[in-house]
Amino acid sequence: GNSVTQMEGPVTLSEEAFLTINCTYTATGYPSLFWYVQYPGEGLQLLLKATKADDKGSNKGFEATYRKETTSFHLEKGSVQVSDSAVYFCALSGVGTSGSRLTFGEGTQLTVNP
Amino acid sequence: GAVVSQHPSWVICKSGTSVKIECRSLDFQATTMFWYRQFPKQSLMLMATSNEGSKATYEQGVEKDKFLINHASLTLSTLTVTSAHPEDSSFYICSARDASLSGGSPLRGQYFGPGTRLTVT
């Protein structure tokens, strides 16, 4: 079955540091890949997505590239801010009739200190 | 943006009692809602898919008689944990799919609630 493995947290960085959160997946076919973010007290929000190999999703300075050869979708940001402190979830959606079902990673807590 | 609310945000109940959790789409109609549970430091696990006006579809291993789902309107789905036990303690999260944005990818317009923390003593 499908699975997603994320880098274990928590991750603590200073403001303006470079961020990488690793995500690898196992799936049949060509799933779509997502990063969701959950700010304290709020619901998950879609941060970015990529639907095919070599696609790069980007939003709010975050980027992730769909790498089929390494089955990875690592999240990166060149310069984090305190407001980026949140929990980040990597997820994939299956193909075909399971296309609407999301499989999530464990989540990675990010804390950015001023 | 679209907002999904959950009520209550946290609840403590005694073993053997039943607890109802509500999921509401506040500014859009949702023909489909999803219920997830999350254990500490673990990923979100899909429990069931709730379709307005029809029976929910449960994932393998989820007891449908224990986790009752009712999606009676386009803006409300409820999850009732019946005869709760301490092992049911978890974080329950719903998501709702905006019916007006469901064209194309089935993942378009899916919005998540803030979650409900259930503790069974």
Is the pLDDT higher at A95 or at A36? A36
Of A3, A38, A96, which Cα lies nearest the Cα of B106?
A96
Tens-place pLDDT, residues A64-76:
999 999 999 999 9
- Token digits for B25? 């789409």
Distances (CA, A) of A19 to A4, A80, B19: 19, 7, 40
Tens-place pLDDT, residues B51-101:
888 889 999 999 999 999 999 899 999 999 999 999 999 999 999 988 776
- Token digits for B7? 């009520």
Report pLDDT for B109.
66
Report pLDDT for B107.
56
Burial class (CB in 10 A: 0-12, 13-18, 19+), B70: middle
In the three-class reduction of DSSP (H, G, I as helix; E, B as strand; rest coil), residue B36 is classed as strand
A interface test, pick of B7, B41, B42, B43 with most A CB neighbours within 10 Å: B43
Q: Give chain A positions within 8 Å (CB) of B46.
A: 101-103
